[in-house]
Structure 1
Amino acid sequence: METPATPGHMVTLDAAALRGWPLPMPSPGGDKEERGHVLILGGSREMPGAVILAATAALRAGAGKLTVATGSSVAQLVAMAMPEARVIGLRETAEGGFRHEAVAELNPLADRVSAILVGPGMQDEAATAALVRSLLPRLNGTSVVLDACAMGIILNPDLDGEGAPFRFEQPVVLTPHAGEMAHLTGKAKQDIAAAPDATAHAAARDWNAVVALKGARTIISAPDGSQWQHEGGNVGLAISGSGDVLSGIIAGLAARGATLAQATCWGVALHARAGERLAERLGLLGYLARELPDEIPALMDSFARP
């Protein structure tokens, strides 16, 4: 069921809106294949935990199968932390990205995954942009979520023609906060914070992407002009690893069959409510990003009930 959002009309993502836009559910006898296969591509020597956070969140969001592709230097660590996952070790650049040959190693998975998340814990923006550029043509029919430095493909598109605008051939999800959006657009961070609706709308239209511009009030914009807003969560969510969890939730929901817009809207709402629940139990500050995914299954159930 698609949301009643229409271009030019802002939908508020409250409990009623989510209940009116239910997530795809597997059949009672469905197996893990029916719940989708998600691939998390990311991590580095300095930030191996990012893919662990994202991968955990994807499974907690209901994905049935999980593969993690990460740097060979940390692959064993990730495999031990994620016993549910198949883990592939990729050759790395000195700057913390993956070498171009990684595309060949991932090729066999291209037509077997339902959703792919690229970016958590990756550090070499130029190498990551080159990797994304090579992967995208192989991912027709796959839901794609780009986070962190994977969004840098917008600045490193390798297009013919100086100054040619960047546009994805097939829609993807992008999850920038105001600072990342400033980096991607060249606008001042304060200007983006002052006009998030217009900024997200223009980016979604120009880039052909579902854009979640994160903040205390998060704006989600689709390429057709549809927009959603979510207010909630708390300052405790502003912590290392929180964005990795959000992108993992979105990828997990997309693997289950949610549209890019639905996965993003539900992901934002579930992430915020998870922070609220943790604050109720532990206090406003000091809960950890690793604790957020555990809240997701019960929250999905609660939104599914009248």
Structure 2
Amino acid sequence: MGSAASRPERLTASVLARWPLPELAEDADKEVRGHVLIIAGSEEIPGAALLSAVAALRAGAGKLTIAAPASIAKGLAFAVPEARVIALPEARGGLLVRGRQALASTAASVSALVIGPGMQREGAVVRFVEAVIPMFRHATLVLDALAMSVVRGAALEQPAVLTPHAGEMAYLSGLSKEAVCEDPVGAAREAAALWNACVALKGGSTIIAAAEGGLWQFDGGTNGLATSGSGDTLAGLIGGLAARGLPPVAACAWGVVAHANAGAALSRSHGPLGYLARELPGEFPASLHSLSKGRPSR
């Protein structure tokens, strides 16, 4: 799949400087920093919605709405008091398509939509995603977990980021996991072109591929990031950055590096293993600030 002519560029702080974070006037209010909608969670995995939502706020998004199954919505409202929480109808563990009506009031104001973390029942998820995303064509779309399965049917028609690991990439692309691991650059590049999206293929090295053909590789992750819920925080972080105004590739690149730097900071304070995904968002503001100053980490 890959070739020497398509070697990725190393993703560093100097590369991120090409896509500076949006500047804010002293009197800027929360509306300027964008509105992110997180559609996530299930009765068995409610924490995914919480992790993604907090990460989006820690990325600097100005407004947050969480839409989650009715069975967990009230708990999320108490857990994230900064958010508006919309309860969505569900049946047998999956969201019902008619729940899209409850999102209509947010459609005009949402600048980034994160959908998928912690959602269950693939068929129901795909039907729901296919019904919802046309309402948010003007927003940057961040697809994670089972919501990514929507690309198995058709290419996306709006700015989008997908964040698969090797196993998910194999499932979505029809390749074997061994083939993905053998040539992650080629797998990411071909998927980005086929799906018309920015793809971050997560792993020991993360490959970011743009639909237009750009390729970047980031090698600064740590083993401790391979922990339950870590991907949920990355999806929320990318969504929060997109809500602030970064285009998909830039939001993805900043998110991948800031996420890794947050893990590095926790490694220094806690040790290389054993820190929790819920602790990562607390490190995001300092990580983003350091990167904006051209420093790799704090």
TM-score range, shorter chain: over 0.9
Which residue of the partner structure matches residue 71 of structure 1? 69
1:115-152 CA distances to partner (integer Å, 9 max, x unpaired)? 01000110011111111111222212111100000001
Q: Paired residue for 2:195?
A: 207
Per-residue CA distance 1:224-266 (angstroms, 9 max, x = gap): 1011111112111111000000000000000000000000000
How far apart are the structure 1 equivalents of 2:6 and 2:245? 26
Letter in 2 for 1:76: K
What is the identity, as a one-letter code, of the residue corresponding to 1:288? L
Aligned pairs for 1:115-126 (under 5 A) are: 115-126=112-123
Identify the match of residue 140 of structure 2 among 140, 143, 165: 143
Give the Cα separation in 2 of the matches to 1:115 and 1:9.
30
Instruction: Please tell me whether residue 225 in structure 1 is matched to residue 213 in structure 2.
Output: yes
Length-normalised TM-score, structure 1: 0.92
- 1:120 partner letter: P
Matched, 1:171 2:169: no
Question: In structure 1, what is the Cα distance between the partners aligned to 2:147 and 2:265?
Answer: 30
The AA in structure 2 aligned to 1:167 is A
Deviations 1:166-198 (A, max 9, x none): 211223111000000111112111110110000
Give, as a single letter, the amino acid of the residue that structure 2 aligns with 1:130. Answer: R
State the one-letter code of the partner of 2:150. Answer: I
Deviation of the 1:302 alpha carbon: 1.0
Residues 33-56 of structure 1: per-residue CA shift (max 9 Å, x gap)? 000000000111101100100000
Q: Unaligned regions of 5+ residues in structure 2, if any?
A: none
Q: CA deviation at 1:13?
A: 1.3
Q: How far off its partner does 1:9 sit?
A: 6.1
Offset of 1:18 from its aligned partner?
2.0
Matched with 2:96 is 99
1:62 is displaced (CA, Å) by: 0.3
2:267 is the alignment partner of 1:270: no
Deviates more, 1:81-90 or 1:17-26: 17-26
Q: Is the 8 A contact 1:9 1:226 kept in 2?
A: no
* Contact 2:188–2:208, Cα closer than 8 Å, also in 1: yes
Alignment partner of 2:22 out of 24, 27, 35: 24
Q: CA deviation at 1:20?
A: 3.9
Unaligned 5+ residue runs, structure 1?
Answer: 1-6, 158-165
Q: Which amino acid aligns with 1:301?
A: H
1:93 positional shift: 2.2
**Maintained 8 Å contact 2:139/2:159:** no
Q: Helix, strand or coil for the counterpart of 2:95?
A: coil
Say if 1:253 and 1:267, in contact at 8 Å, map to a contact too: yes
The TM-score normalised by the length of structure 2 is: 0.95
Question: Do structure 1's residue 250 and structure 2's residue 238 form an aligned pair?
Answer: yes
| SS class of match (2:212) | coil
- Aligned residue type for 2:249: A
Shift of 1:301: 1.1
**Equivalent in 30, 41, 44 of residue 42 of structure 2:** 44
> Secondary structure, in 3 states, of the residue corresponding to 1:34?
helix
Decide which moves more: 22-31 or 252-261: 22-31
The C-alpha deviation readout for 1:254-294, integer Å capped at 9, x for no partner, is 00000000000000001111111101110011000000001
- Among 29, 44, 52, the alignment partner of 1:54 is 52
Q: Is the 8 A contact 1:25 1:256 kept in 2?
A: no
Q: Which has the higher helix share?
A: 2
Bigger mean CA deviation after superposition, 232-241 or 17-26? 17-26
Poorly superposed stretches of 4+, deviation over 6 Å: none
1:154, CA displacement in angstroms?
2.2
| Percent of residue pairs bearing the same amino acid type | 51
Q: Give the number of equivalent residue pairs.
A: 290
Secondary structure of 1:66 counterpart: strand
Query: 2:112, 2:19 → 1: CA distance?
Result: 20
Structure 1 stretch 239-248 or stretch 124-133: which is displaced more? 124-133
Residue 131 in 1 paired to residue 116 in 2? no
**Considering only aligned residues, what root-mean-square deviation do their CA atoms show, in Å?**
1.2
